[in-house]
Structure 1
């Protein structure tokens, strides 16, 4: 009998399901049916609702749930409803891993949407790679990953910095202070930033990292005052962003002379700190709430209708929303018996759709997303003015900082 790729995948999935249950005497003839049983497709939603990054991740949960609700209200996927299993990992990487195992093994979710920090993504990665499941990660991140079990819909360094850093050097100067939270993402983003600064003949006058959840920035602000950098490049995340901006403003520093230029400060953090504390500072991102498009107008109106007129959308909640629509497109190509993580991964390669930020595409080789870089300056009303946008969508290059490595459909290659 001829063994097709699809039959091989089904057989492997069935064997994996038997091993996971711990009952070898039970033979599952088609384990993929478990993913679409009873007219429902079960997915996990794994964002922190409490803890230090709850300030941002709670909004990621909301955008994901809204997208699922929209799909279900429109009849689901080929008549099947999406059932969301929501867990709160409480901003703790170890809890992320524990909850991920539950969603994959106990709840039998066919995919999980989750994580804000790279620390939490790294914590769950072994679960998804060992169990051959799919994790949908919406956050801008540092690159340097080529997993076949993660769908990456956030920006990588070249998509945030390639236009931002030269623009800042041209408009503000060549002396830079790098301040970030103390984990992998800020350090890798700063490595790429330093590479660009060197090419531009600029210098780093100081580089400093603070613990996650850090709230006392008086010594850092004093260094800003004494060093007098032209640009403060910030990769501080979570509640710490609010504290940093408020203390900067309280010290009387001037963003017109010494702006903070961030990869991580969105409308969500601005809403928490108040527009006056953020006014005059810059952010680079593929999406801002003020972006003028029919798709974004619908997204913002739907979000505020669902969650409250005072709520804001931002550059991580937006990919949370469109990655669920990518999932919908991929699953809609499959028969119910073929709905499993491996088939979804193949079906989502090359998927295109018009997201609130513009038309996006999932790159088949890297499983990263083509996005639209933008530079925004925050105003006192808490919104951004878009200063510049890329003339076209930008290819994701997750190993741009490491020119001897490239992510391919076959995996990571040395060049």
Structure 2
């Protein structure tokens, strides 16, 4: 359809002259549609972020095999953020200014997202960000594909209190914005459920000596640990927890970050019996997920490759972007922003939808209990996707939105 319209325009305007503007539009339409994939290929975060980059490239290859986007093949320009926010900003600038891409899929941490955000907002380009995060952001230049706190905590805390029968929470996290914001939301939910939090403790990112903290947990009287610990520290924490004789039956660790990646790294025996709240687990028993795992493993040439929540979102975000362009009939940031509102997709883990108001994504909350084989058993699942509320920690509700298509209403904060 697009090529035919361009062809008729060419004939009408130039009588078939090859140098006419219509002909140039045909030439451009045949060119690849370039997008960025901005993930760490080197540095401490590269092990995980290379997986996200592969998921984006897998989705692009599948779309290309099916005919591309508006008849154009996708060309993915991979840039290395090098596990450093400053480098992320430099590479984002290259992609948006030098390479002139309208859309970048990328970043994995809030630090890298915050570093690149001014570039996307100044240059009016679009960032698709696949990782669950702490909320408290409302940008017209970002599509947020991961969970926000109400997806991970609004069902989780009441479930811990009512189903596990736990009343005394020891909150522990890594010392940066995500764990602290998650703790803020958790405290209000804990108190609303008639329970209490007996401690709220933090250790620096990458901290590996957990003996003192685990002793604090043992002496605190807590009957459950709410863990917002991230990265390599997760491995050290869980190992020390078990080594000091703490039982997941008596004092379970209920996490918001621990995924299949960390379970495999620490050894499944250290996490068996603990819990995590995520929209996606590799164990979700759907034909769409089983097929996704098989295709991903073939793409990366690893028959034992692991999938996890951010990887799934890195994959399905490309399809939502494609649908947005096809709806708008244009590849500009303004067109993508409007085209992506309300887009739905049957992702490997289940249906997702981009919210019309805040450009965050409706996902389905799940609670998984880690098993001895390193996979999770889904012990609680919502029946359908839930509206994202990025400011739920500050009183935002579905009836009283802070972040809308018009922007952030700061008077409500």
**Do they superpose with TM above 0.5?**
yes
For 1:111, the equivalent position in structure 2 comes to 103
Larger radius of gyration: 2
Q: Report 1:364-403 matches (<5 A).
A: 364-403=356-395
Match of 2:153 among 149, 161, 173: 161
For 2:14, the equivalent position in structure 1 comes to none
Q: Deviations over 1:246-289 (max 9, x none)?
A: 22222221111111111111111111111111111100011111
How many residues of Structure 1 are paired with residues of Structure 2 in the alignment?
Answer: 384
Describe the SS at the equivalent of 1:401: helix
Q: Deviations over 1:276-332 (max 9, x none)?
A: 111111000111111111211111111112221111111111111110110111122
Offset at 1:75? 2.1
- What is the CA–CA distance in structure 2 between the aligned matches of 1:54 and 1:177, rounded to whole Å? 31
- What is the CA–CA distance in structure 2 between the aligned matches of 1:127 and 1:365, rounded to whole Å? 22
Match of 2:253 among 252, 260, 263: 260
Match of 1:101 among 85, 93, 103: 93
- What is the CA–CA distance in structure 2 between the aligned matches of 1:267 and 1:281, rounded to whole Å? 12
Structure 1 stretches of 4+ moved >4 Å: 35-38
- What is the CA–CA distance in structure 2 between the aligned matches of 1:320 and 1:299, rounded to whole Å? 12
- What is the CA–CA distance in structure 2 between the aligned matches of 1:95 and 1:364, rounded to whole Å? 32
Q: CA RMSD in A?
A: 2.1
Query: Quick check: 1:36–1:42 contact (8 Å CA) kept in 2?
Result: no
Offset at 1:227? 1.6
- What is the CA–CA distance in structure 1 between the aligned matches of 2:365 and 2:190, rounded to whole Å? 19
For 2:242, the equivalent position in structure 1 comes to 249
- What is the CA–CA distance in structure 1 between the aligned matches of 2:233 and 2:28, rounded to whole Å? 42
For 1:206, the equivalent position in structure 2 comes to 199
Offset at 1:172? 3.9
For 1:310, the equivalent position in structure 2 comes to 304
For 1:176, the equivalent position in structure 2 comes to 169
Describe the SS at the equivalent of 2:33: strand
Seen in structure 2, the aligned counterparts of structure 1 residues 272 and 50 have a Cα distance that, compared at 3 Å, is farther
Query: Quick check: 2:355–2:362 contact (8 Å CA) kept in 1?
Result: yes
Answer 1 or 2: higher relative contact order, Cα 8 Å, separation at least 6: 1
- What is the CA–CA distance in structure 2 between the aligned matches of 1:89 and 1:143, rounded to whole Å? 22
Deviates more, 1:303-312 or 1:53-62: 53-62
Query: Quick check: 1:41–1:110 contact (8 Å CA) kept in 2?
Result: no
Q: Report 1:32-111 matches (<5 A).
A: 39-111=31-103
